[in-house]
Structure formats: structure tokens, C-alpha cells
Amino acid sequence: EAGVAQSPRYKIIEKRQSVAFWCNPISGHATLYWYQQILGQGPKLLIQFQNNGVVDDSQLPKDRFSAERLKGVDSTLKIQPAKLEDSAVYLCASSLDQGSASYEQYFGPGTRLTVT
Amino acid sequence: GNSVTQMEGPVTLSEEAFLTINCTYTATGYPSLFWYVQYPGEGLQLLLKATKADDKGSNKGFEATYRKETTSFHLEKGSVQVSDSAVYFCALSDRQTGANNLFFGTGTRLTVIP
């Protein structure tokens, strides 16, 4: 079974530029999560989708971050414009169903973003 | 609110030593508790979990018991190996909020030397 795929793996941009990250969850997984992991900290949820609907985006800085999952499969996370403090690893995770006992989250390898 | 406090690292042990990584939590409801592991160059992987009080999660020789009275979920292993070198994250999920998002601790880096 293929895991969660993310691209790119690394990205370096200057502040005020824009950037986009892509995630392809495990086939059949209804729930998709984006986490931000700043160096030395644990991952923090940015947004959670159930199919193509948003379940929780309370921690997403909506003035600069946006995310979509239009067809309920792939997802894109965008930052525009980027700030220095956005330097982090962006993790995508998926789970079979948020409401059932099968809610283990499977994580992708992450995208390491450096903003200079 | 929900939060996880984890033993600060880094932790360095000799092979076959006993490991304990402390984890305590604060939750508004009835959380499920997890330990995730991140090996060098790899993504986060679920190591073990417990969904209710007094449950013991175990995997690959690691164990953790959900202690509601002390709000703890300490990770233990009787004899560590070099291959256990990784970063370990304690996390909770509070399904009462309607979502299943995970709240993570800051991580503990373990290095096992031969």
C-alpha cells in the first residue's frame, strides 16, 4: 500500500514570495490533515478536511494561508505572502475515517520550507 | 484546553539500557493517547496507542499505560537498541471536540550508543 505522498520535499523562498505544497493521501482515506512543525516543536494542526469539506481550520492563519481539497483526494496548501516565521516542516497526514475507531493518522515525509 | 508535556531531551543511553520518556497531558474530555516515532530521514509513524484509562499500548518492545489519575502516558522499553535512535512524540486526540486532530508534545530525541 502506497503511503502519503508530498511534494516538494524541500523549498527555499524569499519572504513575501508565495509557495504551494501538494499532498496525495492514502487511497480511500476520507480525512486529510495539514500540520506545521517548527524546529524543536511538535507538529501543530493547521487544517483538517473530511472528504472535500473543512472540519477544523481554527489554527490556520487565514490572512496568508489557504488550503483546498477540491475533489476529496489530493490537497494543496498555499502560503502567500510568506514570512520568516513560516520556516518549518509541513506535514500531511490522512486517516480512514475521523468518526470510527480506525482513525490512526498516517504521515507523509513532509516538506521542509525555508524562508529567507 | 488540550496539551501535552513531554520530557525534554536529548536522551543518550547505552545499548540494552532501560528507557523511560515521561509524558503528561491536559485534556478537556476523554482523550486517546499516542506515541509517535520519527526515525532519521523518515516521516512520523505511530508506535503505540491507548484509548481509555488503564489501557496499555505496546509495540516493538515499547509500552505505555494510560494513567487517568496521574494524567500520564510514560513510554518505557526494557532494553534499547541502536536502531531505536529516533525522536519520540507523545500526543493526544480528543474526539469530544468533533475532530480527531492530534496535539503533540515537543518531542524527545533518543540516541542509543553501542
Least CB-CB distance to B104: which of A31, A40, A43?
A: A43
Work out the pLDDT band at A62, boundaries 50, 70, 90. Answer: very high
Cell of B44: 512520523
Q: For residue A101, give how far its alpha carbon lies from the nearest alpha carbon of chain B (Å).
A: 9
Indicate yes or no: CB of B100 within 8 angstroms of CB of A43.
Answer: no
Cell of A96: 480512514
The model's pLDDT over B60-100, given as tens digits with 9 standing for 90+, comes to 999 999 999 999 999 999 999 999 999 999 999 876 655 67
Q: Is B108 on the interface with A (CB under 8 A)?
A: no
Count how many residues are written for chain A: 116
Each as own residue / partner, the long-range contacts of residues A60-63 (CB below 8 Å, 24 or more positions apart, any chain) are: none
Cell of B81: 537498541
The secondary structure of residue A39, as a DSSP letter, is T
Each as own residue / partner, the long-range contacts of residues A21-24 (CB below 8 Å, 24 or more positions apart, any chain) are: A21/A76, A21/A77, A21/A78, A21/A90, A21/A92, A21/A111, A21/A113, A22/A74, A22/A75, A22/A76, A23/A74, A23/A75, A23/A76, A23/A77, A23/A92, A23/A108, A24/A73, A24/A74
3-class DSSP string for A65-82? EEEECCCCCCEEEEECCC
Residue pairs between chains A and B whose CB atoms are closer than 8 Å: 57
Q: Is B57 on the interface with A (CB under 8 A)?
A: no
The model's pLDDT over B18-44, given as tens digits with 9 standing for 90+, comes to 999 999 999 887 889 999 999 988 889
Q: For residue A103, give how far its alpha carbon lies from the nearest alpha carbon of chain B (Å).
A: 8
Work out the pLDDT band at A71, boundaries 50, 70, 90. Answer: confident
What is the predicted pLDDT for the residue at B10?
94
Backbone angles phi, psi at A32, to 5 degrees: -130, 140
